[in-house]
Structure 1
């Protein structure tokens, strides 16, 4: 049976990144990983982290979809040079800024660090991260070796038990 646990309030969630300038008036192209992608603007203030790892809090971004990116404006960012200085900056928010998941749902970040075992009790290590292939999501279990397990319920992922800190999978240890 799936159980819930409160999110780790110290965790931050990577929601997107600044990919460059759009035009010459300080508009910013953003790659968003929220669904829908323009939902990124709902979760402010943001934590902006540059390539050196320096973080600062930022609020007031506004934007709209444009092709495969979002086009945004930031208060105080007025020209293309200012935008180019932000290129590659990651956009994060505290885990606590996200709404609680619906019953039976969870955020990927909440799975990170949980032990992964199969039905026979073979320990595959811990959830390192998840990623999407387009066809399905994939859980990456890191232990004595890395395993990529399709996150397909109930076929391969049998249960997620936050209280026990375990994801149970139907997966051959030799695969």
Structure 2
């Protein structure tokens, strides 16, 4: 599926416009990047609209308090800026920095099948529905599987995460099915 000339599978969601800031067209942005202001380094943004992804031209952005604010080129009115709120921000996948061996972006893990080999038996836990940041460590939110349960599995490679095979679409975990 293509949205406004950019194949949507080539885009990665990296943040969300949350609310307006001030009266001159600035908006607050919740960034999913780490650190949060890394989102400002990407030269071209896309905004999810009612008809798909639309290009978003940013002419200014900065940290403000505990968050970020940005200004969209040519948008100097609070009411116009309000139309951007509660919409996802994406960037082209090929703009994302290369990772070291054994490192993964969250979007690569979402959707993967999770198999546990706890106690020498194989258990199908379902798929990664989303990732969650807890402060101590990231967590896989896994739903489905044979028992249709939701599981929260700490993303701790070498401890609970035994293997990640992107090509096969499988994460192997060492996690008790009773939890």
- Fold conserved between structures, TM > 0.5: yes
Q: Distance in 1 between matches of 2:59 and 2:28?
A: 12
**Runs of 5+ in structure 1 lacking a partner?**
1-8
**Runs of 5+ in structure 2 lacking a partner?**
1-7
Cα distance 1:21–1:130, how it changes in 2: closer, same or farther (>3 A)?
A: same
1:127-160 deviation digits (Å, cap 9, x = unpaired): 2221111222111222222211111122111111
Match of 2:160 in 1: 156
Match of 1:4 in 2: none
Structure ranking higher on relative contact order (CA contacts 8 Å, 6+ apart): 1
Q: CA deviation at 1:106?
A: 0.7
Match of 2:89 in 1: 91
Any idea what SS the aligned residue of 1:10 has? helix
The 5 Å alignment of 1:62-101 reads 62-101=60-99
Match of 2:103 in 1: 105
Does residue 166 of structure 2 align to residue 167 of structure 1?
Answer: no
Q: Distance in 2 between matches of 1:86 and 1:58?
A: 10
Q: TM-score, normalised by structure 1?
A: 0.85
Q: TM-score, normalised by structure 2?
A: 0.83
Q: Distance in 1 between matches of 2:77 and 2:138?
A: 38
Count of residues in Structure 1 that have an aligned counterpart in Structure 2? 166
Match of 2:3 in 1: none
The 5 Å alignment of 1:1-175 reads 10-50=9-49, 52=50, 54-119=52-117, 120-143=121-144, 144-175=148-179
1:71-105 deviation digits (Å, cap 9, x = unpaired): 21211111212112222122112322212212110
Q: Distance in 2 between matches of 1:121 and 1:61?
A: 52
State whether residues 63 and 72 of structure 1, in contact with CA within 8 Å, keep that contact through their aligned partners in structure 2.
yes
Any idea what SS the aligned residue of 1:116 has? strand
State whether residues 112 and 128 of structure 1, in contact with CA within 8 Å, keep that contact through their aligned partners in structure 2.
yes
> Whose strand fraction is larger, Structure 1's or Structure 2's?
2
